[in-house]
Chains A and B, each alone.
Chain A
Amino acid sequence: GAVVSQHPSWVICKSGTSVKIECRSLDFQATTMFWYRQFPKQSLMLMATSNEGSKATYEQGVEKDKFLINHASLTLSTLTVTSAHPEDSSFYICSAGDRDFYGYTFGSGTRLTVV
């Protein structure tokens, strides 16, 4: 079945630094990828949608300059949290869909802790 690999699975960074999270579709071409974040005891919140070769579409209230998304190929999307602050600490999850659209496959998530 479709597999999405997300790295790193956890990261601790200092306040003010940037962190890059990778999301790869291993056995299919992902025309669309989504990025979510999830705070403890809450549901997933959609941050942005990225389509290969075009700019990401951000949901209302998500700062596009803070959360940089790049979907440079059909198998890779990256999320960079710039100038991270403790309030950015969260569980970040990506998902990907292919052209046949059977359903979306999710990465295992990245737990970001900003200290």
Chain B
Amino acid sequence: DAKTTQPNSMESNEEEPVHLPCNHSTISGTDYIHWYRQLPSQGPEYVIHGLTSNVNNRMASLAIAEDRKSSTLILHRATLRDAAVYYCILLNSGGSNYKLTFGKGTLLTVNP
């Protein structure tokens, strides 16, 4: 299975942008890059996903490297409600890599 590597933790200040990195050097051509986050005592929630091009939605932006071996989740203005564990996961719905398997993720702390 294609694996991802993320920093264990990151810290940010409220109202400032946050860049959460993810390395996935063994990504296959059909793997999508998904990001989920889990707030304390809740189920994870979908944040964003992409294949090759950068993506934006109301929650975040996803910047994907040209070689697709890394990506960065960007929270443009962190709020206290963004404090969570963020998971970068590779998924391929049409292939064998369709299971959402979680690594340790990055614990984001947002300071007021």
Contact = CB atoms under 8 A, between A and B. Distances in A.
Interface of A: 4, 6, 32, 34, 36, 43-46, 49, 91, 93-95, 97, 101, 103-109, 111
B99 A109 contact: no
Contact of B44 (A45, A93, A101, A111): A93
Contacts of A111: 41
Majority secondary structure of chain A interface residues (helix, strand, loop or mixed): strand
A95 B87 CA distance: 15
Interface string B63-87: 0000000000000000000000101
B42 A108 contact: yes
B3 to A, nearest CB: 13
A57 to B, nearest CB: 9
Majority secondary structure of chain B interface residues (helix, strand, loop or mixed): loop
Among the interface residues A43, A44, A46, which one has the most CB atoms of the partner chain B within 10 A? A44
Nearest to B43: A106
Given A97-B93, A103-B34, 11 more contacts: A4-B43, A34-B99, A44-B44, A44-B102, A49-B99, A94-B43, A95-B100, A103-B46, A104-B100, A106-B45, A108-B42
Interface string B1-36: 000000000000000000000000000000000101
Contacts of B101: 46
A66 B105 CA distance: 29
A4 B44 CA distance: 12
B49 A106 contact: no
A104 B104 contact: no
Nearest to B87: A43
